[in-house]
Structure 1
Amino acid sequence: MYFQRCTCVILLICSIMQDSQCCDWLRYSYRLLSAESLKMLQEMGGDYTEDASPVPFPESQYKKMIYSAEPKDQVRFLNESIYQITELFNGNMQAVKWDSKKLDDFLNLIHRQFYNLKSCVPPQVKPDMNLKRYFRKLNRKVLRKMKYSANAWELVRKETKSHLLRLDIIAALLRNRIYI
């Protein structure tokens, strides 16, 4: 309850301040929520599958964000990636065998990351269509094609872990820049 109140206060303050000042949340709080969401992702399902996803991980997009993107584009990419993960987990989850409490905790953490990051994204920045396409393919070629099976969700959970780990790298780079 206390943490939720703090989050509300931070959001209120961020809505009053300029974009660059709002991104203090990214500098000081993102790491904690990200670590906790990775922990919940692991604990909700145990060991990750060794199966490979039929949709190749968007390695080049992450490299671009890590090595050559402007900070505002990196922040947008973080936010958009988190948003796409939340959308992916809105599918039919009846077949999953995960711990439902940890799944709920994971989803709540991801939603909080999205809403907090949203205040850091400049409104004029356009979405990354390649990222959107990747997640659409993941939904279509894994979840739908595999009929939302437990195995399909395990592949999505494994891919989500990869995304969250890469997003942590981008966030660490952003924390070290003056922009934030």
Structure 2
Amino acid sequence: MAAVNMWGFILLALSCWNYVSGCTWMKTQKKASLSNFQILSNSSISHLELAVSTTTNYHRPAFPNKQYNHSKDHILFILRTLKNVMRVYDGKYDKTDCDQPKLQIFLLDIHRQVSELEQCVSRWLNRRILKKMEIHFKSLISHLKNTDYSAKGWNDIAGVVLRHLRRLDLLAIKTKNDCSL
């Protein structure tokens, strides 16, 4: 009986440790240093910039600045936005005139950020979807479909995604400095 209790305690401790370590993904020991999230965020931005030779200032639909400014649960917001970025790049980017290996590294970086952030957000919070952001990303996917997934369409999307990644990086800095994390 004691062995069963001991194994139960070990499993509980490991699951709690895993949850706590996921949330430390956004924190650092020193205020001036970068968090693991920020390091990977910088990597994903660099790889997307290197993968895409030219980006355009595609403004339709309007960039959702208000969503970034009024986001209350920053980690959830960052997670949902990164999931939407993954959804945009899910599929037909073979017509792009970009460096495919760098694009693959970019997608791996985004996937890693999502998997680490999911440990910080409880499952019931994940259902509370930010509708305006979802609509924004659906319109980006529609733009790709309307341009028949052309290189120009992907360059338009890459410019918007880079803007999102840079804003998420700023939001992560704000979140890291917030004591409530």
TM interval, shorter chain, is 0.7 to 0.9
- Structure 1 counterpart of 2:135: 133
Write the mapping of 1:62-101 to structure 2, written as runs, cut at 5 A.
62-65=68-71, 69=72, 73-101=73-101
CA distance in 2, matches of 1:160, 1:88: 9
What is the DSSP-based 3-state SS (H/G/I as helix, E as strand, rest coil) of the residue aligned with 2:95?
coil
Larger CA deviation: 18-27 vs 154-163: 18-27
Query: Is contact 2:26–2:37 with CA below 8 Å preserved after alignment?
Result: yes
Question: 2:45 is matched with which residue: 38, 46, 67?
Answer: 38
Query: Is contact 1:14–1:119 with CA below 8 Å preserved after alignment?
Result: no
Query: Is contact 1:14–1:21 with CA below 8 Å preserved after alignment?
Result: no
Structure 1 pair 139–20 and aligned structure 2 pair: CA distance change class (3 A): same
- Higher radius of gyration, 1 or 2: 2
Structure 1 unaligned regions, length at least 5: 1-12
Write the mapping of 1:4-43 to structure 2, written as runs, cut at 5 A.
15-17=15-17, 19=19, 22-27=22-27, 28-43=35-50
1:20 deviates by 5.5
Write the mapping of 1:146-165 to structure 2, written as runs, cut at 5 A.
146-165=147-166
Structure 2 unaligned regions, length at least 5: 1-12, 28-34
Percentage of matched positions with identical amino acids: 26
- Structure 2 counterpart of 1:9: none
CA distance in 2, matches of 1:123, 1:172: 24
TM-score (norm 2): 0.82
Structure 1 pair 111–15 and aligned structure 2 pair: CA distance change class (3 A): farther
TM-score (norm 1): 0.82
Structure 1 pair 15–90 and aligned structure 2 pair: CA distance change class (3 A): farther
- Structure 2 counterpart of 1:170: 171
CA distance in 2, matches of 1:19, 1:56: 36
Query: Is contact 1:43–1:102 with CA below 8 Å preserved after alignment?
Result: yes
CA distance in 2, matches of 1:81, 1:110: 10
1:19 deviates by 4.8
Query: Is contact 1:95–1:148 with CA below 8 Å preserved after alignment?
Result: yes
CA distance in 1, matches of 2:22, 2:94: 38
1:98-139 CA distance string (max 9 Å, x none) = 111101110100100111111111222212111111111111
1:53-74 CA distance string (max 9 Å, x none) = 3211111111112xxx2xxx11
Given the alignment of the two structures, is residue 60 of structure 1 paired with residue 62 of structure 2, yes or no? no
